[in-house]
Amino acid sequence: MEEKVSQLRSRLAEWYDLRKAAAVLHWDQQTYMPPEGIQARGQQIGTLLRLAHQCFTSDEMGRLLDELKPYASQLPPDSDEARLIKVTARHYDKDTRVPPEMVVELAELTAAGFAAWQTARAKSKFAIFQPHLEKIIDNRRRFAALFAPYEHVYDPLLDEYEPGMKTAQVQAIFSALRPQQVELIRAVTSRPQVDDSFLHQHYGEQEQWNFGVEVVTKFGYDWQRGRQDRAPHPFTTSFAIDDVRITTRFLTEYVGSAIFSTMHEAGHALYELGFDHALDRTPLADAASLAVHESQSRMWENLVGRSLPFWQHFYPRLQEIFPSQLGNVDLHTFYKGINRVEPSLIRVEADEATYNLHIMLRLELEIALMEGALEVKDLPEAWNARMRDYLGLTPPDDARGVLQDIHWSDGYFGYFSTYALGNLISVQLWERINAEIPDLTGQIRSGKFSALLGWLRENVHRHGAKFEPVELVKRVTGSEIDPAPYMRYLKTKYSAIYGL
Amino acid sequence: MEEKVSQLRSRLAEWYDLRKAAAVLHWDQQTYMPPEGIQARGQQIGTLLRLAHQCFTSDEMGRLLDELKPYASQLPPDSDEARLIKVTARHYDKDTRVPPEMVVELAELTAAGFAAWQTARAKSKFAIFQPHLEKIIDNRRRFAALFAPYEHVYDPLLDEYEPGMKTAQVQAIFSALRPQQVELIRAVTSRPQVDDSFLHQHYGEQEQWNFGVEVVTKFGYDWQRGRQDRAPHPFTTSFAIDDVRITTRFLTEYVGSAIFSTMHEAGHALYELGFDHALDRTPLADAASLAVHESQSRMWENLVGRSLPFWQHFYPRLQEIFPSQLGNVDLHTFYKGINRVEPSLIRVEADEATYNLHIMLRLELEIALMEGALEVKDLPEAWNARMRDYLGLTPPDDARGVLQDIHWSDGYFGYFSTYALGNLISVQLWERINAEIPDLTGQIRSGKFSALLGWLRENVHRHGAKFEPVELVKRVTGSEIDPAPYMRYLKTKYSAIYGL
């Protein structure tokens, strides 16, 4: 069996290398590639991902897994090897179920759909995007049907991003959360608004870069194993456990963008840098799920980076770098400003208190579309109705409403809820960490993050994708994914800021 | 047959994409990769090149070529399709003859050999490198034996870099050239030396960068289809016909390095940017040979970039950028300084007049080693003897003698002569261009290069690897590869500079 495991590892290493090579090409495309390189780059990434898929779904892989599954069941269930075989078999079963033609069809539909979405958004005309979206949804419904029987037609889509999670679980979580968040926002918006005008001044790009680098270096981001580059949309990408890179962008008229985005991406990167090297070049050298990934980015961005102790340490430094902009803004004014709550139309600009409502709205619409309970042509109206209910706002046009996100044009159905679940998980972990590191607040106030990072590495990062997200959260916190800690956190934080 | 051609093209596209992906990974390794990324990067490039090799040497490729070869013989012999089948079959025949174990063995020998060479050079002790070099040469002799019968044991090595060229041809060319070059250098060194001390002052890096960009932009390097980055050793790399990138480095105490290196690399890049798009994703989207590649880089670096007309246009601009360094240096003094001839120990620092002698020395030693006429242990002595004969210098140690180049430690036997052949070809082309564009000198004096670039595109670049180097030179100049034009060029140039 050792020989079989070694054969499995060798095939997986090939698959892994091809995917990581594609990641390098994609990173280059987003950072440095000259414009005319785009056509060839698409072909190259396509070839690499096609070969990776062929390698992973090969008959030889199937035979190896069939031979190894009985062996795996005799191993300690939490051992790397048992998990490797289990997770690989799970991916194999899913990937071989989908006919290549369906994948090609989706690629074609989304290529056309993305172009149509861009035009539709520019003209703020949903009708331009509608026929494309109908075809994409039809493709996704046929995809889901491949996995019948299921509890819910949306389950197979969700499973793409949150292995093992069910639609009913997510619905239950969000049903508990929604009324409390709506109530909190009503309470906050009934209070006098806090000032954040000082954030909207001219802030030099190089100074912003330097401050961000200083912060994430203190977080523990290792520049021997990563780097930062500029990109139009910030992202994190991993080429190896020892090469995980972040990107950022700068708004010279708003200092909040780069600061929090840099911490967010560093949070993602610290996760992938923490994978156990024993998992290298296998499907286990990956995040447990997108929600767990997002729990890490949100933790460093929000629970650390928007906290008062963090700024007790870093604010004097920021004032030193930007004396004319912030010299006369005291710490508490600054802290309140970066935590200003304001219902808004655009998800990516939303604050911590309102963000999840943007997600719930999308999840409900996706489920209704997949169920057939909502037709695509009625989507703008359904969108706007929920915006009024949840945030009290009416989009003035489709561009600032149903057309704002890229995800649907790319076929990413099932993705959105991972953002909100990540928020919830981040606070569940945070409560646990604070129980185990009683002095955490004091450490953050001193600009020390090594105990926090050490805890995350030991309890979350090193496991990679060994455990499904629900299992991981249970192992670490003893609990299911639970919205209560998140609501406690929001209420405590905003009660202080808004004097509720 | 159309269906077969299309199958061939589709396999070649996969091979091409894998190799170009490897090139992106290599470029990133040389420019931006964080240090700890190196181990995974080696694995990834290894996987990509292995899969490319598998794809190219597959049985299916063999069958397709067997079926297509008779068809190709009925096509117009210079058509893209006939040449595609011919060149692909040639590569296939060569690549399938080499057992994979020999390739793996060379990779292992050169990995160890490179490390030993680094140590040996640092300590200037050839004995440290000697046993490694012996094994590498043994591997290369067994490689050559795979291609028996041959006219000369060195032919199969040369053929790796100069398709179709024979050792006897190169020896004949160099035999004619060597005495003339030695004589010219004796004449030059008997005259008073020209001053170039003004080149060795402090020159700001950003200003050097800006000047280089200005020059290569005027050459016609298209920034929509390329870019420049910093790298420890300048190189050019191509990811697609529409994405060919250059790299450069800066010495702040010597302005000559970056200026001429940037023009050199741009010359390489303009070649690959000029391949006909019809050749895309095939082995024809490649240089005819390394010598032809070098003819392009040397042309822009030397025939253009070290010429008086070029500096008649650009020198005022350089003076403007560096007023304190060059304000009091007149054009002719500058021109003589950048063309100073001085026999030196190190190949990469050699001037136009002495460079080829460094190459001939290496070629003769490589041939003797392959023939068995020279033993590795006697290499340092043989090296030093030739240095005395050709350049009148004796290396004070091995580091500045036989250990100076990386090539042998990497297994690159057969490579060196391409540098000298490139010089010769560049002047053969240059004579032809001047005959067809009588006003070329005037155009260069006005900073205009579009007719020159247009001529190169039409006569050299667009053909890619359709023609073997000797055939290409013959088509364009009507002549074999010939040292006479090069000697004429050197004599005319240095007679004026040194008053011979």
- DSSP string across A342-392: ---S-GGG--TTTHHHHHHHHHHHHHHHHHTSS-GGGHHHHHHHHHHHHHS
Torsion of CA A148, A154, A156, A157, to 10 degrees: 150
Q: Residue B13: its pLDDT value, please?
A: 97
Q: Does A24 touch chain B (CB under 8 A)?
A: yes
| Contact criterion met (CB below 8 Å) for B48 and B21 | yes
Residue whose token pair is 């050197």: B490
Nearest CB to B28 within list A28, A35, A37:
A28
CB contact under 8 A, A224 and B36: yes
DSSP per position, B233-280: S--EEEEETTEEEEEE---TT-THHHHHHHHHHHHHHHHHHTS-GGGT
Q: Which residue of A has its CA nearest to B17?
A: A44
State how far the Cα of B303 lies from the Cα of B310, in Å rounded to an integer: 9
Q: Would the CB atoms of A21 and B48 count as touching at under 8 Å?
A: yes
For residue A227, the chain B residue with the least C-alpha distance is: B34
Cα B32–chain centre separation: 24
Is residue B339 within 8 Å of B188, Cβ to Cβ?
no
What does the angle CA B116 – CA B121 – CA B126 come to, to the nearest 5 degrees?
75
The minimum CA-CA distance between A36 and chain B, rounded to whole Å, is 5
Chain B contact for A239, CB < 8 A? Answer: yes
Do residue B36 and residue A223 have CB atoms under 8 angstroms apart? no
Dist CA A65 CA A92 (whole Å):
9
Q: Do B242 and A25 touch (CB under 8 A)?
A: no
**Residue carrying the six token digits 């070809």:** B425
Is A381 one of the annotated active-site residues of the chain? no
For residue B273, give both structure tokens.
């940017």
Verify whether the Cβ–Cβ distance A48 to B24 is below 8 Å.
Answer: no
Q: Which residues in chain A are contacts of B225 at CB distance < 8 A?
A: 34, 36-37
DSSP annotation of A195 reads P
Question: Residue A51 and residue B48: Cβ atoms within 8 Å?
Answer: no
Contact A286, A324 (CB under 8 A): no
Rounded CA separation B424/B356 (Å) = 9
In whole angstroms, give the CA distance from residue B69 to residue A455.
Answer: 65
Of A265, A294, A301, A468, catalytic: A265
Q: Long-range contacts: B10-15, Cβ < 8 Å, 24+? A: B11/B55, B11/B56, B11/B58, B11/B60, B11/B61, B11/B64, B12/B56, B12/B88, B12/B281, B12/B282, B12/B283, B13/A43, B13/A47, B13/B281, B13/B282, B14/A47, B14/A51, B14/B55, B15/B52, B15/B55, B15/B56
Asked if residue A491 lies in contact with residue A334, where contact means CB atoms within 8 angstroms, the answer is: no
Q: Do B34 and A224 touch (CB under 8 A)?
A: yes
A242 to B20: CB separation less than 8 angstroms, yes or no: no
Contact in structure between B449 and B304 (CB atoms under 8 Å): yes
Take residue A143 and report the two structure tokens written for it. 């995809």
Does A43 sit within 8 Å of B13, measured CB to CB? yes
Check A36 against B281: CB less than 8 A apart: no
Strand partners, A238: A244
Q: Which of residues 273-332 of A touch B (CB under 8 A)?
A: 280-281
Classified as helix, coil or strand, A271 is helix
pTM: 0.95
> Which residues on adjacent β-strands are paired with residue B245?
B237
Pick from A146, A99, A140, A154: nearest CA to A409:
A140
Residue to substitute from B12, B31, B44, interface A, most A β-carbons within 10 A: B44
Please list the helix, strand and coil fractions of chain B in percent, rounded to the nearest 5, in that order: 70, 5, 30
What is the least distance, in Å, from the CA of B293 to any CA of chain A? 22
| Contact status of A29 with chain B (Cβ, < 8 Å) | no
Selecting from B40, B47, B222 the residue whose C-beta is nearest the C-beta of A243 gives B40
* Contact (Cβ atoms closer than 8 angstroms) between residue B26 and residue B235: no
B14–chain A nearest CA distance, Å: 6
The residue from B265, B272, B294, B366 that is catalytic is B265
Chosen for mutation from A43, A247, A275 (greatest number of chain B CBs closer than 10 Å) is A43
Q: What is the number of helices (H) and of strands (E) in chain B?
A: 21, 3
**Of B21, B43, B242, Cβ closest to residue A44:** B21
Cα nearest neighbour of B280 on chain A: A40
The residue of B10, B241, B242 whose CB has the most chain A CBs within 10 angstroms, and thus the best one to mutate to test that interface, is B242
**What part of A 41-80 touches B (C-beta under 8 Å)?**
41, 43-44, 47-48, 51
Residue B403 sits at φ, ψ, to 5 deg, of -95, 5
Q: In chain B, whose CA is at the least distance from the CA of A238?
A: B37
Write out chain B residues lying below 8 Å of A281, CB-based: 43
Min Cα separation B249/chain A (Å): 18
User: What is the per-residue pLDDT for B104?
Assistant: 86
Q: Which one of A20, A37, A48 has the shortest CB-CB distance to B240? A: A37
Q: In what order do the strands lie in the sheet with B236-240?
A: B228-230, B243-248, B236-240
Asked whether the beta carbons of residue A34 and residue B224 sit closer than 8 angstroms, the reply is yes
Identify whether the C-beta of residue B297 lies closer than 8 Å to the C-beta of residue B303.
no
Contacts A–B by Cβ distance under 8 A: 120
CB spacing of A243 vs B48 below 8 angstroms: no
pLDDT tens track of chain B, all 500 residues?
Answer: 899 999 999 999 999 999 999 999 999 999 999 999 999 999 999 999 999 999 999 999 999 999 999 999 999 999 999 999 999 999 999 999 999 899 889 989 998 999 999 999 999 999 999 999 999 999 999 999 999 999 999 999 999 999 999 999 999 999 999 999 999 999 999 999 999 999 999 999 999 999 999 999 999 999 999 999 999 889 999 999 999 999 999 999 999 999 999 999 999 999 999 999 999 999 999 999 999 999 999 999 999 999 999 999 999 999 999 999 999 999 999 999 999 999 999 999 899 999 999 999 999 999 999 999 999 999 999 999 999 999 999 999 999 999 999 999 999 999 999 999 999 999 999 999 999 999 999 999 999 999 999 999 999 999 999 999 999 999 999 999 999 999 999 999 999 999 99
Contact B40 A14 (CB under 8 A): no
Q: CA triplet B349, B354, B357: central angle to 5 degrees?
A: 105
Inter-chain contact B20–A35, Cβ cutoff 8 Å? no
Q: Dmax over Cα atoms in chain A, in whole Å?
A: 69
Q: Strand A243-248 and strand A236-240: pairing?
A: antiparallel
Are B80 and B284 contacting, i.e. CB atoms less than 8 angstroms apart?
A: yes
With CA atoms as reference, the chain A residue closest to B19 would be A44
Residue contact B241–A41, C-beta within 8 A:
no
Distinct helix (H) and strand (E) counts, chain A: 21, 3
Which of A29, A239, A273, A281 would you mutate first to test chain B, the one with the most B CBs within 10 A? Answer: A239
Q: Which chain A residues touch B40 with a CB distance below 8 Å?
A: 20, 239-243, 280
Shortest Cα–Cα distance, A30 to chain B (Å): 14
**Nearest alpha carbon to residue A40 among B47, B275, B289:** B275
Among A36, A221, A247, most B C-beta atoms within 10 A, so best to mutate, is: A36
Q: CB–CB of B225 and A37 under 8 A?
A: yes
* Cα torsion angle, A198, A199, A202, A203, sign: positive
Could you identify the residue written with the tokens 């590191």?
A437
Whether residue B380 lies within 8 A of chain A, CB to CB, comes out as no
Please report which residue ranges of A98-204 form alpha helices under DSSP H: 100-123, 126-145, 155-161, 167-189
- Give pLDDT, residue A336: 98
List chain A residues with pLDDT less than 70.
none
Q: Spell out the long-range contacts of A334-338 with Cβ–Cβ below 8 A and sequence spacing 24 or more.
A: A334/A198, A335/A308, A335/A311, A335/A497, A336/A194, A336/A195, A336/A196, A336/A497, A337/A194, A337/A195, A337/A196, A337/A198, A337/A199, A338/A196, A338/A199, A338/A256, A338/A260, A338/A306, A338/A311
